[in-house]
Amino acid sequence: MEKEITINFELIPNYAQLSDIEKTLFDKAKIAREQAYAPYSNFLVGCAILLENGEIVTGSNQENAAYPSGLCAERTTIFWTSANYPDVKIKKMLVIGAPKNAANSPAIPPCGACRQSILEYEAKQKEAIEIYFASPSGEVVKTKSIRDLLPFSFDGTFL
């Protein structure tokens, strides 16, 4: 029997069409991206997380000479957030990733490992996290939940 899973996303073609809070997240993720430590890949990623208390947490990818010891921007940011605000819900996460000197780069989605990590916190807080991924030039893709980026997901309910 063939079945189908539908995922939903919104394409926001440019920065001007973002809401004020979305613009703030975009601006902060862009600044965070410029602070990424990525001397090996030269692929810079910035992330901004909006908490339910209105605070915004930012982070970037952190690489290492022993390559697997580095960490993506999304996990750097969400782990720090959970460590420091364990009981504060996460409302939105906006990610901007692109090669350092790319003139034209599309909106690039979070990697699979980051999706899995984000899912864990969505399950923990029992409330969806809106995920945005954007190009530095302002093209933005928005989903209402990490589940749209990870439709066949593994979570703690299976354990």
Known catalytic residue at 34: no
- Residue number, 63 or 159, with CB nearest to ligand THU: 63
Binding site for ligand THU (CB under 6 A): 38, 41, 43, 45, 61, 63, 70, 72-74, 97, 110-111, 114
Runs of H (alpha helix) within the chain: 20-34, 73-84, 112-125
Q: How far is the CB of 123 from ligand THU (least distance, A)?
A: 19
Q: Which helix (H) or strand (E) holds 93?
A: strand 90-99
Q: How far is the CB of 102 from ligand THU (least distance, A)?
A: 13
Instruction: State the nearest-atom distance from the C-beta of 95 to ligand THU, in Å.
Output: 7
Classified as helix, coil or strand, 95 is strand
For 132, phi and psi rounded to 5 degrees? -120, 135
Q: Which is nearer to ligand THU, 19 or 76 (CB)?
A: 76
CB of 78 to ligand THU, least distance (A): 11
Of 45 and 146, nearer to ligand THU (C-beta) is 45
For ligand THU, the closer of residues 54 and 68 by Cβ is 68
Longest CA span, the chain: 49
In the set 63, 74, 122, 130, the catalytic residue is 74
DSSP 86: T
Q: How many CB atoms lie within 10 A of CB 41?
A: 14
Six-digit token string for 133? 């991924």
Q: Are strands 140-143 and 43-51 parallel, antiparallel or unpaired?
A: unpaired
Residues noted as catalytic? 74
